[in-house]
Amino acid sequence: MSLLLMALPSCLFQERHNAKTVGEIKQFVSQLPHMQAARGSLANHTSIAELIKDVTTSEDFFDKLTVEQEFMSGIDTDKVNNYIEDCIAQKHPLTKVLRLLCLQSVCNSGLKQKVLDYYKREILQ
């Protein structure tokens, strides 16, 4: 996020020191709700950006993204995928596993029966 955007609410709050007349003070006070809302929005935006960064910089996210990109590129879509196999073995959430299986299936115009049976066995264990 730009430093200018982050510094904007602080600069506006500092304007209170420059207010000399009653009219300038009144104008500053009328802008307070907007400045406070902007400060709150900035705090929310920063918190959300930090949460997104935490997720997207994790090794698991990168591994999953790599597998998804390989599927979309048609790389090894016709055989059991090691990452999906590891996710099943490590008891990752079923929704994550099923989404990857669906993506693999769609990218390969369906899964081979042998591959599907293998995934079924692994999930049901």
Domain-by-domain residue ranges, the chain? 3-56, 59-124
Tell me what the pLDDT averaged over the chain comes to.
87
Would you place residue 98 in the very low, low, confident or very high pLDDT band (cuts 50, 70, 90)?
A: very high
- Mention every residue, 6+ apart, whose C-beta is less than 8 A from residue 119: 80, 84, 88, 101, 111
| Structure token pair of residue 61 | 């996210």
Is the pLDDT higher at 38 or at 18? 38
Contact of 38 with 9, CB cutoff 8 Å: yes
CATH fit for domain 59-124, picks 3.30.70.1450, 1.10.760.10, 1.25.40.850, 3.30.70.600: 1.25.40.850
pLDDT tens, 9-31?
555 556 666 667 877 777 777 87
Share of the chain above pLDDT 70, in %: 85
pTM to 2 decimal places: 0.68
